[in-house]
Amino acid sequence: MRRAVLAAARELGFELAGIAPAQALPELQAFPAWIASGRAGEMRYLERKAPRADAPYARENILHVFPWARSVVCCGLVYNTAQPKSTAPAPPGRGWISRYAWGDDYHEVLLAKLRRLAEHLRAAAGAAAGEEAGEDRVYVDTGPIVERVYARHAGLGWIGKNTCLIDQHHGSQFFLGTLVTSLLIAADSAPEDRCGSCTRCLEACPTQALQPYQMDARRCIAYLTIELRGAVPEALRPAVGRHVLGCDICQDVCPWNRRAPVTDLAAFQPRPGLVNPDLEELAAMDETAYRERFRASAVKRAKWAGLRRNLALAMGNSRQARFRPRLQAWSESDDAVLREHARWALRQLEPSDANP
Ligand code: B12
Ligand code: SF4
Ligand code: SF4
């Protein structure tokens, strides 16, 4: 059954696949303290409670929510494409949308593959046992599972100091998909940590969001530009730089991504204009054009309001006077958050002697 499910995962296009045991894993002991320290920010879904009084958080142990689970099939799908890194020089006034959001929404791409994988597994189990396989669930992001921890124990990679899961051949620019099953399948083992004495990601992070193997998500640009609704804390705005959605810096400086392979999957190839996007071109879209352009795209998670807020910050941080008309228009917007961010951005465009 193990061989059949891993072969099926490869056939479906997953570059990485392995099996973890469905049990509380040692890294998850750090989870309650991470939540209690407030580092999840406003991502309340991470605090989902377990249906057991002695175990506060669902994510502490997969068995809290899936008591029938015996194995976790973890799969990785590369999204890296042959495009410049965020750390490479770009023309002035260009923004950055994270690499993972250039193509189609990854949730749908992976879920379709995982559903087919579950069918393969049921068929293999039925053939082996002469009866129907039991329960299973498939998830990409949204399940009460800390996916990287299970994927590590499924042998897909080690958790780097930047908190990403890294494979020595594929780097870290791959998504994870998870299939929880009641079938018992022989598990893999976790690979060794190959970060060594490197600290590049910790040093390159513009907001100092990282400590080795742990993140303060409240400071991460991915959180600030995608998850956070409302105002971006003023102290962090300059460090957000040109990012309008997500951030790739701690992966782009990682030596394991230097020669990482790229995908030829059509769904993950960049849509036009999203690599080093023109800020004014994005800002000129009305809401209808935005919905049309980002249909079935992960960019939609930031919402129309969030994207415009982020564009205002990136324009201010660019110090390019050509963005003044757009920012002036936004500084009178009915949207209070956009109005305030545009006014902040206009102050960044003032000559430096007036703005020491
Ligand atoms: C919330 C979330 C975020 C948050 C918080 C990120 C974070 N580090 O926790 C924000 C919005 C910031 C974010 C950003 C990104 N995310 Co995200 N995110 C998630 C999500 C939905 C939950 C993660 C979670 O539970 N975090 C809670 C913390 C506690 O978990 P953790 O960092 O994984 O920490 C564990 C380990 O680090 C472990 N640990 C391991 N070793 C050690 C050693 C020590 C000493 C200690 C103390 C702890 C420790 O302890 C923790 C468990 O208790 C997952 C999907 C999922 N369901 O898992 C995707 C996921 C992790 N994200 C993903 C991606 C692609 C990204 C971005 C690259 C997107 C972007 N470019 O903008 C960035 C990467 C930023 C980064 N450096 O991690 C991928 C990661 C793939 C990979 N190869 O690693 C995932 C798996 C989604 C997917 N299905 O593919 N994300
Ligand atoms: S994604 Fe960007 S802001 Fe977040 S930890 Fe990595 S470098 Fe820092
Ligand atoms: S940059 Fe260095 S320390 Fe950071 S994740 Fe990559 S190898 Fe590990």
Domain that holds residue 310: 200-259+272-354
Q: Which of 181, 216, 232 is the last residue of a domain?
A: 181
Ligand 1 centroid–CA 165 distance in Å is 8
- Closest ligand 2 atom to 223 CA: 4
Do 289 and 320 lie in one domain? The reply is yes
Do 280 and 316 lie in one domain? The reply is yes
Give me the active site residues, please. 141
For residue 132, what pLDDT is reported? 62
For residue 165, the ligand closest to its alpha carbon is 1
Do 158 and 13 lie in one domain? The reply is yes
Do 254 and 152 lie in one domain? The reply is no
| Count of the separate structural domains present in the chain | 2
Do 24 and 121 lie in one domain? The reply is yes
Does residue 267 lie within any of the structural domains? no
For residue 53, what pLDDT is reported? 67
**Nearest residue (CA) to ligand 2, atom 1:** 247
CA distance 180 to 152: 15
Does residue 68 lie within any of the structural domains? yes
Do 149 and 237 lie in one domain? The reply is no
Counting residues of the chain whose pLDDT is more than 70, the rounded percentage is 96
For residue 19, what pLDDT is reported? 98
3-state secondary structure the chain: CHHHHHHHHHHCCCCEEEEEECCCCHHHHHHHHHHHCCCCCCCHHHHCEEEECCEEEHHHCHHHHCCCCCEEEEEEEECCCCCCCCCCCCCCCECEECHHHCCCCHHHHHHHHHHHHHHHHHHHHHHHHCCCCCCEEEECCCCCCCHHHHHHHCCCCEECCCCCEEECCCECCEEEEEEEECCCCCCCCCCCCCCCCCCHHHHHCCCCCEECCEECHHHCHHHHHHHCCCCCCHHHHHHHCCEEECCCHHHHCCHHHCCCCCCCCHHHCCCCCCCCCEHHHHHCCCHHHHHHHCCCCHHHHHHHHHHHHHHHHHHHHHCCHHHHHHHHHHCCCCCHHHHHHHHHHHHHHCCHHHCC
Does residue 283 lie within any of the structural domains? yes
Q: Are strands 243-245 and 96-97 parallel, antiparallel or unpaired?
A: parallel
For residue 47, what pLDDT is reported? 93
Do 141 and 43 lie in one domain? The reply is yes
Whether 198 lines ligand 3, by a CB cut-off of 6 Å, is yes
For residue 23, what pLDDT is reported? 95
Do 166 and 17 lie in one domain? The reply is yes
Does residue 207 lie within any of the structural domains? yes
**Nearest residue (CA) to ligand 3, atom 5:** 160
Ligand 1 pocket mutation pick from 114, 146, 153, 195 by most atoms within 8 angstroms of CB: 146
Does residue 266 lie within any of the structural domains? no
For residue 353, what pLDDT is reported? 42
Do 175 and 217 lie in one domain? The reply is no
Does residue 286 lie within any of the structural domains? yes
For residue 351, what pLDDT is reported? 73
For residue 222, what pLDDT is reported? 98
Ligand 1 centroid–CA 214 distance in Å is 9
**Nearest residue (CA) to ligand 3, atom 7:** 195
Do 149 and 204 lie in one domain? The reply is no
Do 298 and 159 lie in one domain? The reply is no
Q: Which of 130, 149, 181 is the last residue of a domain?
A: 181
Sequential pLDDT tens for the chain (356 residues) = 899 999 999 999 999 999 999 999 999 999 999 999 999 999 999 999 887 766 679 999 999 999 999 999 999 999 999 999 999 999 999 999 999 999 999 999 999 999 999 999 999 888 676 656 689 999 999 999 999 999 999 999 999 999 999 999 999 999 999 999 999 999 999 999 999 999 999 999 999 999 999 999 999 999 999 999 999 999 999 999 999 999 999 999 999 999 999 999 999 999 999 999 999 999 999 999 999 999 999 999 999 999 999 999 999 999 999 999 999 999 999 999 999 999 999 999 987 544 44
For residue 175, what pLDDT is reported? 98
Whether 15 lines ligand 1, by a CB cut-off of 6 Å, is no
For residue 218, the ligand closest to its alpha carbon is 1
Ligand 2 centroid–CA 65 distance in Å is 30
Q: Which of 181, 208, 232 is the last residue of a domain?
A: 181
Whether 164 lines ligand 2, by a CB cut-off of 6 Å, is no
Do 298 and 238 lie in one domain? The reply is yes
Does residue 87 lie within any of the structural domains? no
Does residue 175 lie within any of the structural domains? yes
Whether 210 lines ligand 2, by a CB cut-off of 6 Å, is yes
Ligand 2 centroid–CA 314 distance in Å is 16
